[in-house]
Chains A and B, each alone.
Chain A
């Protein structure tokens, strides 16, 4: 199977070229990159004039709820949703039921993932057995089986000794530890940002210090052990500052931010009349926190944008705010939301920087064998995402492939969308008509 993509503006993972480039993929691998590649022998040809041809986008953090919570999402629906959102790879979180804390479940996810027609599924595994935060999970077996990240996401690793042991133990496995930064003693019962939102709503505030203090703790463990640590869904100014300072002292710390923390803030919780659709952990922060995340993107503090897509059944979410579940579903509009916000903010960073946070940025955090997912090079897997920076579309959650039926962006018209997703050389999602093919 040969597919030819013509005239795309090539983003190779680092640099966005303004020259038209062709790419030929052959049996799931990028075989040629160049200009004026002959369409002789191509089964399908697509004209990507005016569109950006990028390495496939990678979502480092999403909840696909499989196994055990399939009423919220499963691997098939999540994989299709991912492709429709422009992601060729999804790293699914292990806080399922049962939690993914063993090699058998890693294999289950990889095998079921193979059958999915959308995004490639890469599983993460729990850091602790039963995600209970007490003893190490079998990280070695899970690494061999194919786990790409270790995390107790949904919860922090509150036991400092356990986190230290996990860093040491995983250091030889080539799989990174991801910490969900939260000091639980500061967030018990908390529902919204500790600031304007907690003040007006009367809901318990989730202070930024709950996130920043856990990052400071993780940074000192990483310094102590020399082992990298990744902080996910960093939401507050203080936390970004903590990561920035750590990076300046050569600590091997990395972080990601979410589309909702980049695009939404706590004023929307109040403005919506406390609509549970805006309820998430960590909570939507102040406008100045949001600005700080964009500054972190601009100056290189942020390594990736990850969705933290957290789908729920309508009945778990469509409730009075205080009773609604924590989590925002965004997989199918996350990229568009970020591109739209980037435009709205008058392009606070070069577009190639933004694109790298969906591609080479997250790829660098994965085990060695997956790093090529983040770049376009001959011999790399044919995982591609095509972006139309000018395309406008209104979010309609009722048509989503995800099982989620609520999202903060529903009804919003966003500018800049993924219009094609290629996974292993197969078109997993496309709004583009092919020019010719069938040979």
Chain B
């Protein structure tokens, strides 16, 4: 059995895909692409797919991760290409590695988010960010399945700053075009602190209330380099590790994708 890890996106209008919707679409794509999946045992066998930390519905993402188990070996990159062609545009498979290490989900320590605040002037956003970062803790509330919960949104934030791409209000006085873009790095903690919680935090700590809902996109997910405050590629250890197949003296590509199975 071979395990392959894939990175996928939720782009454009398909960011409204819920995690369940994605799962259904992905399993159908596996069937169309005739991927030799390993199945779970039991009365109704399921293809073995595991997902990590799915971004909330309505949130875009460049860095979602899943892992599949195959009954037959495939070249990760070739498999990625076939699967990508089989998925709707916007749910794109963008990277693949063979799983050669354990504890992949533990490596997903933090996420980088981009928050586009339409109608918010960069200067106002910058001030709010300063206020938020200056606080030791920022209590926010969120409605969960178990009721209204109160928790701290500040501690989990590794960094928060104004992105380069922000657009100031038009010089010709058309003030309706400004858009502040924030870059946020959040540690994955329990209970999870989500980008909307940080936005609530900006309101609580610094009275920032964007006129329209923010467009939120996950840019990266992976190990947090505390020094630089950046999130690094979680596939790097798999790429660096020796291939299990090579170690056994067999070629790493045992069969061509789509070949006679």
* A and B together in one complex: no
> Chain B: residues with CB nearer than 8 A to chain A?
none
